[in-house]
Amino acid sequence: MKTYLVTGGAGFIGSNFIHYMFEKYDNDIVIINIDSLTYAGNLENLKDIEKRDNYFFVKADICDKEAVKRVFTEHEIDRVVHFAAESHVDRSIKEPEVFVRTNVLGTAVMLNEAKAAWELPDGSYREGKKFLHVSTDEVFGSLEEDGGYFYETTPFSPHSPYSASKAGSDMLVKAYMDTYKFPANITNCSNNYGPYQFPEKLIPLIINNALSGKKLPVYGDGKNVRDWLYVRDHAKAIDMVIEKGRLFETYNVGGHNEKQNIEIVNIIIEALQEMLSDDDPRKKLVSKDLITYVEDRKGHDRRYAIAPDKIKKEIGWEPETMFKEGIKLTIKWYFEHEDWMKNVTSGDYQKYYDDMYGNR
């Protein structure tokens, strides 16, 4: 039975990964989730699995060396899946030091403690151990609008404090692989969307605002292009890289779903109008008239697009969910979890930890 240490497991991608793993492996694995529960960490994302005997939650900051060391001391960790990161570009522009601390220092702490726990006296590592560092395509910078893709060999060219801090963490992991032959992989993924995404990000923001009849803010001319990946497809890719990826390799994980931001907004509006019943009063609120162009983000990259050729060839993974299907699944989930969205937008979700764990 393998034991997984998942950092940032109460966040968007981390919680989806934990759900995916329990659906696939059920009681054949143990998952320990370490999360500091910042604004984007939400234990309500994991309510349905929190009472499992093979799931444990640890409230701790990955920059806290002693807390991380304690997890490795108390548990026999076989896999580290390192999601924990500050990830919102706009926040990074306002508070860059927070991003450097979590994304760079936090990754260094995780690497050091995993290395200390797994390393043998001769400098080799205990059999079957692996560290997977989950990163972003934003480390590569921006592509021309008329073509080209990010490959694993594309030079880093970050343009925001967020992407620079993630590039720094990627380079740290690479350095540990090169210097210590530390058993690790790196994945760089395109924009994720799906259930449990915090509504500061484009897709849940547009869904929530449109249903409330609020303005739909679009940066600049709305023609910035992103490659969109349904989060469950990403979870599957991570699992496959953990089990089948060659040590010391980096794998790009892309969705083959390039869309301009304004296209995304229009697709969401059309999907909402199609999925809302005629007697639902929100249907009258949803309109393209709500689209409002706002001043462009500083250092806003024009286009991202990932070539997932390597992961397909070596591991056999490819995206399964096309965008129009994935966006309907996402909207359906938000329809079915209106209380979740209400708690997130009101801030009440932050009380959940105290309610669940405060007296333990």
Strands 291-294 and 216-219: parallel
Tokens linked to 126: 């205990």
Active-site pick, 78, 113, 138, 258: 138
User: DSSP character for 194?
Assistant: S
Decide if pLDDT at 145 tops 90: no
Residue 20: active-site member: no
Considering 217-226, 235-244, 252-261, the range whose residues carry the highest mean pLDDT is 235-244
The predicted model gives 146-170 an average pLDDT of: 94
Say what the pLDDT of residue 351 is: 78
- The answer to whether the CB of 203 falls within 8 A of the CB of 333 is no
Burial-class residue 98 by CB neighbours within 10 Å (0-12, 13-18, 19+).
middle
Tokens linked to 107: 């990754």
Tokens linked to 171: 């380079």
d(CA 35, CA 106): 12
Active-site pick, 55, 162, 251, 349: 162
Q: Which CATH number fits domain 2-357: 1.10.1530.10, 3.40.50.720, 2.60.40.1180, 3.30.70.3040?
A: 3.40.50.720
Say what the pLDDT of residue 358 is: 59
Residue 360's pLDDT band, with cuts at 50, 70 and 90, is very low
Crossing angle of the two packed helices 202-212 and 261-275, in degrees rounded to 10: 50
Strands 225-230 and 258-260: antiparallel
d(CA 199, CA 27): 32
For the chain, the structural domain boundaries read 2-357
Poorest-confidence range of 128-142, 154-168, 268-282, 341-355? 341-355
The predicted model gives 346-350 an average pLDDT of: 78
- Mean residue pLDDT across the chain: 94
Active-site pick, 137, 170, 239, 258: 137
Tokens linked to 30: 């143990």
* DSSP output for 45-67: GGTTTTT-TTEEEEE--TT-HHH
- The answer to whether the CB of 252 falls within 8 A of the CB of 315 is no
Say what the pLDDT of residue 300 is: 83
Decide if pLDDT at 75 tops 60: yes
d(CA 303, CA 224): 6
Decide if pLDDT at 353 tops 70: no
User: DSSP character for 349?
Assistant: G
Residue 138: active-site member: yes
Residue 66's pLDDT band, with cuts at 50, 70 and 90, is very high
The predicted model gives 193-209 an average pLDDT of: 92
Select from 35, 99, 83 the least CA-distant residue to 61: 35
Other C-beta atoms closer than 10 Å to the C-beta of 39 total 14
Residue 162: active-site member: yes
Tell me the three state secondary structure of residue 250.
strand
At 293-321, the pLDDT tens digits run 998 888 788 899 999 999 999 999 999 99
Which parts of 193-337 fold into alpha helices (H)? 202-212, 231-244, 261-275, 309-315, 323-336
